[in-house]
Homo-oligomer: A and B are copies of this chain.
Amino acid sequence: MPTGHVFIATSLDGFISRPDGSLDWLISPDHAGEDHGYDAFMRDIDAIVMGRGTYEAVLAFDSWPYSKPVLVLSKRLAGTAVPPALHGKVNFADMTPQAAMEHLRQQGASRVYVDGGPIVQAFLRDGLIADMVVSRIPVLIGEGRCLFGPTGRDIAFSHAKTTAFPSGLVQSFYRLKG
């Protein structure tokens, strides 16, 4: 089975976006010139899994940012047509995390980038996340969409490395324990 990998930024209070999805608190001029390792992370990734929320947020970008195949897990989008510009780049499916990983394995993927709050939570619950790079932005935004959610059990990680950047972003790398 492929391994799942998280690379995500949160506010100090654990939000990945404001309630309306906006990321203005995340994008700071302080970050200019800092390499937070996203490009290096993406080079080692074979496929990306995300939910509808993340997909629609990315659709609003000026251009499609991914060179790797993207699988969007969504009951609502499954069976609808992928926009012509994204043919060959995006697939929609209504699958469990386990089924999605099996599907990606059949397509030759070994490392899968798992993105978006609900999808990260579902893959964590199903034990499909091997490691996480979590970057904390030093601001409390008070409300928004959470990175983490109910787990049903403790999920322990071992800490591999933390790097603090001049902007105040603190990035920690965790591996699933055991």
**Chain A interfacial positions (CB closer than 8 Å to B):** 12-14, 25, 124, 134, 136, 138-143, 147-159, 161-162, 164, 168-170, 172, 174, 177
Contacts and interface: CB of A to CB of B under 8 A. Distances in A.
Contact of A13 (B142, B148, B159, B177): B148
B159 A138 contact: yes
B25 A148 contact: no
B134 A140 contact: no
B158 A138 contact: yes
A143 B125 CA distance: 13
Contact of A159 (B147, B148, B149, B170): B170
Centre residue among A14, A25, A158, A177 by max chain B CB count within 10 A: A14
Given A134-B12, A159-B170, A162-B164, A124 B150 contact: no
A149 B14 CA distance: 10
Given A13-B14, A138-B174, A150 B143 contact: yes
Nearest to A171: B162
Contacts of A151: 13, 140-143
